[in-house]
Structure 1
Amino acid sequence: MTTFLIFLLLLAVLGHITIWAALWNRLHGFGLSFGVCSWVTALLVAIGAVVPTTLITLILEGDLPLLFLTQSDVERSQVGLYGAVAANLYIGACLLALPFAIGWRIWRNLRRPPAVLKSSACELLFDLAPVLKSRSGLRARARAGAIQFLGLVGRRKALLRTTGWRKAAQQESIPSNSWQLSGDAAFPIGVEQPGGARETGCSGICSEVGQARISGAVFHKNTPKSPPRRHHPSSLLFLPGNESLACHRVELALSLPELPSALNGLRIVQLSDLHFVGRIPDEFYQLVVEHSNRLEPDLVLITGDIVDRKECIPQAQKILAPLRAKSGVFFILGNHDLRAGVENVRTALTEIGFKNVGGRVEQLSLNGTAILVGGNELPWLGPAPSYPCHDSVHKTPHFRLLLAHTPDQFYWAIRNKIHLMFAGHTHGGQACLPWLGPIIAPSAYGIRYAQGLYHKPPTTMYVSRGIGGEFPLRYFCPPEITCLTLFSETSGSETAPIRLS
């Protein structure tokens, strides 16, 4: 009986985690600011930890009758009748939550893929983890730190032997804004004379007058500004099994009934959630850009969360500048871009030739056929784009593309008759269960649209797992470069095979 009770309690705790994870998902799908999200997360974690601890304590001490409520149980209970009923109802919900969640995931995984999907393929492009671990492992970092420390000690001893500045500092001091000395003693040193004249000596062989004029405080205060600090890779990247540096290429061939035959074979690359935050090596992003260019896309679409920190904007601008597409690179912003400054990020990306479609629609002409590309940044930035009803000249409907940061805009896209929608934001769940899928996805619909292809006429939506992350920690959910090749059902041609070379 004790074993059975422990099993039930364990199942209830796992169900409790399932319920609170679902609650976290939905609360984080409502466009809350970063500060509010942090407080909500902390509150959910605190309450979520207190509730099972309290219930288990009451049950073990006999103060809370479990499952069967008799008159004597209620009289002995410390929580009263209503408290005991509420606690038992919640425990019952927890016992059902985990089996329901697992059954629902199995049912979704066994469903047939959308009819618009004709073929798909996935392959590993590159994995920087072994290179990074060999270059930045514990031994390498310890060796680099030891070399740097010994170098500093050597320079300090050389400086003391050559200048004797510490002894001179005790004899005479000067105003702190009068002197400069390079930390590596590689530049000329200016020595101010009593009459205001400046005498110059070499850094390694200073004159005695110069030696007597240098103070220790001045040595540190007026050294030139050091270059911007280079961000080191996050320690999370070194955890066993972390897939954050193992980028995959996902290729899909879609047959869309609304696609004009002139656009048959249109090739679109989606990059989402780059998250330039200084925790992922530049080489990773450079390889992403390189492999995207190798696909020779007609369009490249970047669906938000590009830069997390203002100081990382130059890094993102430099790395993304070589990104190319035959008909242009289009982008929108996400909730993390607000931290770096909306106008700062927009300006930086437009300066390198990218086209901003946040809250607006741009019309392109491909093979003589008009196509509309719009961007929906709701619920963080507005307004939503306004698509024209039809071609004012030929009175025919346009083919409509939509960039949306969150898949929560799926039903907005359906109402506005969007034909193809691209989204990100969820990172595919970032840490998933094998085959069962994600646990956490910041969406108002929970994990329903966490990753993959979805179709509800007339809209087809693809949700990318993204490239980076504020916290680069991925399990069973590697980053991806997505390439969609579009075919028309009226073109009369067979779907071309997926290119994996």
Structure 2
Amino acid sequence: MKKNELLAALEQRLGRLHARQRLGIEADHEAQVFGQGLNFFHIENWYSVHSVIRNTLKLCGLYWRGRKNAERIVVKTNHVPSSRLPAQFDGFTILHISDTHVDMNQRAMQRLAELVTGLQYDICVLTGDFRGATFGPFDAALNGMERLVAHLKPPIFGVLGNHDTIQMLPELEAMGIRMLQNECDVITRGEESIYLAGIDDAHYFRVDNIEKAAAAIPEGTFAILLSHTPEIYRQAAHAGFDLLLSGHTHGGQICLPGAIPITLDSVLPRRMGAGAWHYGNMAGYTSVGAGSSVVAVRYNCPPEITLHRLTRA
């Protein structure tokens, strides 16, 4: 798709302001070596350091162990009880996949495809970071996502992460993924409904708009928010969401024994950096991700996909 055609398509899909804002920030980011704002000198953007980390791990004899760890994706189950859940949705199951970085580790993605094929779930949600790099070409990421989506059952919903370019949006949607860009969809069973909203990246691009995403959700109904980062937990809770599903942190990816993260690259309490948590009346879950970032290794933090089972409290 040519640049002017892409811009026209994105403006029609997202609105002129959102499309131009996201594309403009991406262009600014592409022009800088080390990123900007919170990500200035961030290791994700400082690509020369990636090979240094990789070579250091090889010299220490740890690299190949970390590579194998990154391929051992596990399936976790998380139970979400709620008195607000409609009776028709008791037992409703959500497959949650995050931070695939599909072009980083082909063996891990093959394992992921094998795992999802035999799972039973009602909907699948993808909470961003489909691409390995934070800028540059994205064809490999789109090809990898197309292979993965072939193994998933619809309906599939998704949001973009800080590694993803808005230019991927048309092709992701063409694969059958309903991308929620500060938008909301209704999921209906019989005469009862729940609401699923999603926001654009709030970590780097700062183009999230929870108010717009939640505008059509009636008061008192059960609502789920998809966000790449859990850092917007306060805003989500006070907006009345019952469940926040996110990723981004990788659980630290390289952790000390006991799954203690060295860094989470997020501004939030450490208890929210991985797994299930609560804030006020809202339940939350931060996936440690199915893929790996910077270097395709993991230590004391196995990659995961999660089945969230909603039940009436």
- In the superposition, the TM-score normalised over structure 1's length comes to 0.47
1:342 corresponding residue in structure 2: 166
2:57 corresponding residue in structure 1: none
Matched residues in 2 for 1:299 and 1:253: separation?
15
How far residue 469 of structure 1 moved from its aligned partner, in angstroms, is 1.7
1:310 corresponding residue in structure 2: 138
- 1:74-85 paired onto structure 2 within 5 Å: none
Decide whether the 8 Å contact of 2:66 with 2:298 is kept in 1: no
1:330 corresponds to which of 147, 157, 160 = 157
Decide whether the 8 Å contact of 1:271 with 1:301 is kept in 2: yes
Secondary structure of residue in 2 paired with 1:244? helix
How far residue 306 of structure 1 moved from its aligned partner, in angstroms, is 0.8
Label 1:322 to 1:456 Cα distance change in 2 as closer, same or farther (>3 A): same
Does residue 1:461 correspond to 2:276, yes or no? no
How far residue 288 of structure 1 moved from its aligned partner, in angstroms, is 1.4
2:50 corresponding residue in structure 1: none
1:119 corresponding residue in structure 2: none
1:115 corresponding residue in structure 2: none
1:485 corresponding residue in structure 2: 309
Does residue 1:410 correspond to 2:259, yes or no? no
Matched residues in 2 for 1:241 and 1:290: separation?
18
Does residue 1:438 correspond to 2:266, yes or no? no
- 1:23-62 paired onto structure 2 within 5 Å: 35-36=35-36, 37=39, 39=41
Query: How big is each residue's C-alpha offset from its partner over 1:129-165, in whole Å with a ceiling of 9 and x where there is no partner?
Result: xxxxxxxxxxxxxxxxxxxxxxxxxxxxxxxxxxxxx
Matched residues in 2 for 1:293 and 1:411: separation?
35
Decide whether the 8 Å contact of 1:274 with 1:466 is kept in 2: yes
Decide whether the 8 Å contact of 2:66 with 2:299 is kept in 1: no
How far residue 315 of structure 1 moved from its aligned partner, in angstroms, is 2.0
Letter in 1 for 2:251: G
Structure 1 range deviating more: 428-437 or 478-487 = 428-437
Secondary structure of residue in 1 paired with 2:41? helix
Letter in 2 for 1:333: L
2:53 corresponding residue in structure 1: none
Decide whether the 8 Å contact of 2:186 with 2:193 is kept in 1: yes
Query: How big is each residue's C-alpha offset from its partner over 1:144-187, in whole Å with a ceiling of 9 and x where there is no partner?
Result: xxxxxxxxxxxxxxxxxxxxxxxxxxxxxxxxxxxxxxxxxxxx
Label 1:381 to 1:367 Cα distance change in 2 as closer, same or farther (>3 A): farther
Does residue 1:248 correspond to 2:71, yes or no? no
In structure 2, list runs of 5 or more residues that go unmatched.
Answer: 1-27, 45-60
Does residue 1:292 correspond to 2:119, yes or no? no
Letter in 2 for 1:469: S
1:365 corresponding residue in structure 2: 188
How far residue 316 of structure 1 moved from its aligned partner, in angstroms, is 2.0
- 1:109-124 paired onto structure 2 within 5 Å: none
Label 1:255 to 1:383 Cα distance change in 2 as closer, same or farther (>3 A): closer
2:207 corresponding residue in structure 1: 382
How far residue 237 of structure 1 moved from its aligned partner, in angstroms, is 5.7
Secondary structure of residue in 2 paired with 1:39? coil
Query: How big is each residue's C-alpha offset from its partner over 1:203-222, in whole Å with a ceiling of 9 and x where there is no partner?
Result: xxxxxxxxxxxxxxxxxxxx
Matched residues in 1 for 2:264 and 2:113: separation?
26
Does residue 1:447 correspond to 2:270, yes or no? yes
How far residue 367 of structure 1 moved from its aligned partner, in angstroms, is 3.5
Letter in 1 for 2:78: L
1:273 corresponds to which of 77, 96, 99 = 99
Matched residues in 2 for 1:286 and 1:459: separation?
34
Letter in 1 for 2:115: H
Matched residues in 2 for 1:401 and 1:446: separation?
21
Decide whether the 8 Å contact of 1:237 with 1:472 is kept in 2: no
Letter in 2 for 1:262: Q
In structure 1, list runs of 5 or more residues that go unmatched.
Answer: 1-31, 43-234, 490-501
Letter in 2 for 1:318: E
Matched residues in 2 for 1:373 and 1:240: separation?
36
1:210 corresponding residue in structure 2: none
1:355 corresponds to which of 178, 202, 215 = 178
Label 1:462 to 1:284 Cα distance change in 2 as closer, same or farther (>3 A): same
More helix by share: 1
2:86 corresponding residue in structure 1: 260
- In the superposition, the TM-score normalised over structure 2's length comes to 0.74
